[in-house]
Amino acid sequence: MAALNSARLAMSAPDKPAAQPTHDPIEELAKTLYVNLCSRIYSAGGEKPQPKAVAQLSFKLAETFIAANLEFNPTAIAAREAKNKASVKLDSVQIDFGATGSG
């Protein structure tokens, strides 16, 4: 009986789309760096750093790379400039509401 009730609830519940995580390029790059660094560090002999220290280094490297990419990569610079040109600056928009009311 309980299985039947839970099946009814599942069927009558509205389908909500799962919340999509935000896209964080720094986190994605840091994760890739972390996996690659760990595979090299922990497969070699000798003293090993703490995994948390490797993660911290991965995030610092990712942040630095993203900043340098926007500074030195011509493709990234062009994309940023195109995005800035396409965006509307609301501070510079002037609307005369008095002209729309007369007529």
Sole residue written with tokens 């009814």:
8
pLDDT tens, 6-16? 555 555 555 66
Q: What is the pLDDT of residue 86?
A: 84
Domain range summary for the chain, segments of one domain joined by +: 50-87
pTM of the shown model: 0.60
Q: What is the pLDDT of residue 49?
A: 95
Q: What is the pLDDT of residue 6?
A: 55
Which pair of tokens denotes residue 3?
């299985």
Query: What residues contact 91, with CB distance under 8 A and at least 6 apart?
Result: none
Instruction: Give percent of the chain with pLDDT exceeding 70.
Output: 77
